Amino acid sequence: MSEAAYVAVDWGTSSFRLWLAERTGRILAERRSQEGMMMVERLGGFAAVLQSHLDVIGAPADSPVVVCGMAGARQGWTEAGYLETPASLSSILERAVAVPHAARDIRILPGIAQRHPNRPDVMRGEETQLLGAFGLGETVNAIVCMPGTHSKWVRLRDGKVEGFATFMTGELFSVISRETILSYAVAGADDAEDVDAFRAAVSEACASPALATNLLFHVRSGQLLYGGEASAALARISGTLIGLELAGGLLNAAPGDDVTLIASGRLQALYQSAFDRLSIPIRLIDADEVVFQGLSVAAKAIWPEGDAS
């Protein structure tokens, strides 16, 4: 496979994705698994897990590897540290950390930290999505929403990450729907989406975020007094939490800012519906594709043509 130029890896807390690519960015092979950071020690460590996937796809022994995500965390493979906001997207490439004593050239991209006494925040992995979505452009001004267990809202100014905020939307949804009194309201809910209940909850929560916990309790009290399906209750919890997130995430938007949504699958559909309900136009980017694109930008910059082979 002489055309292989580099390997790109997105190593999350609970997931692992790997791509073997040629210099043009064409993907030659791909691997996905649940061998995230939380599992690697049981499987022999980061190096062993990576090598097992490289062996399966027959990656050349000299192919360099660029990694983003939790492999660079303090408890990961090799700590890649954090860039400080405001951080240019190009500085992500300049601060890539080499894994010591590795059999091949392996670089891990850093995260980004916001060191503000009242708004401390960190991201690790999302910076690579930004790199894939916007490249190294110095004229980008946007508000970027990246939904997930811990959603990120990023403010880009002139190609720099000026600031960002994390919202625990996905994690709270899981806890509230399973571990609180609202678990009774959603018991037996099927996969059917109650779009009307979701969109109504988005509107209410975004308009009155100070009533957040009251709106959540309405899910239970409304069902007790007026009836309703479990699927509608589940949709109201989801819509309330996403509406609250949008209310907070849009606080830092300036007039004329473009809003970019980087998402895929079910989250993409939910957030698109929420933005539509609020009449907020968005630019949509597929999250599954943009991670590889960001890693590809990094690989080409770290190993200029002729050096990554």
Judgement on whether residues 274 and 298 belong to the same structural domain of the protein: no
CB 248 within 8 A of CB 254: no
Note whether 215 and 117 are same-domain residues.
no
Q: Which residues lie below 8 Å from residue 146, measured CB to CB, with a gap of 6+?
A: 126, 129, 152, 153, 154, 262, 263, 287
pLDDT digits (tens, 9 = 90+) for 22-74: 999 999 999 999 999 999 999 999 999 999 999 999 999 999 999 999 999 99
Residue 186 lies in a domain: yes
pTM of the model: 0.92
Residue 24 in any domain: the answer is yes
Q: Are 171 and 251 in the same domain?
A: yes
CATH code for the domain in which residue 36 is found: 3.30.420.300
| pLDDT tens per residue across span 244-290 | 999 999 998 888 788 999 999 999 999 999 999 999 999 999 998 99
The predicted-structure confidence for 131-143, as pLDDT tens digits, reads as follows 999 998 777 889 9
Q: Is residue 140 part of a domain?
A: no
Residues 32 and 64 grouped into a single domain:
yes
Closest Cα to residue 169, out of 149, 144, 153?
A: 149
Query: Is the domain of 281 the same as that of 182?
Result: yes
Q: How many domains is the chain built from?
A: 2
Q: Are residues 10 and 118 in the same domain?
A: yes
- Say yes or no: 9 and 42 in one domain: yes
| Under 8 Å between Cβ of 275 and 117 | no
- pLDDT tens digit string along 146-176? 999 999 999 999 889 999 999 999 999 999 9
Residue 159, pLDDT score: 85
Residues 76 and 109 in one domain: yes
Q: Are residues 108 and 184 in the same domain?
A: no
pLDDT value for 2: 54
Structural domain range at position 27:
4-134+292-302
- Residue scoring higher pLDDT (2 or 265): 265
Banded model confidence at residue 7, pLDDT cuts 50, 70, 90? very high
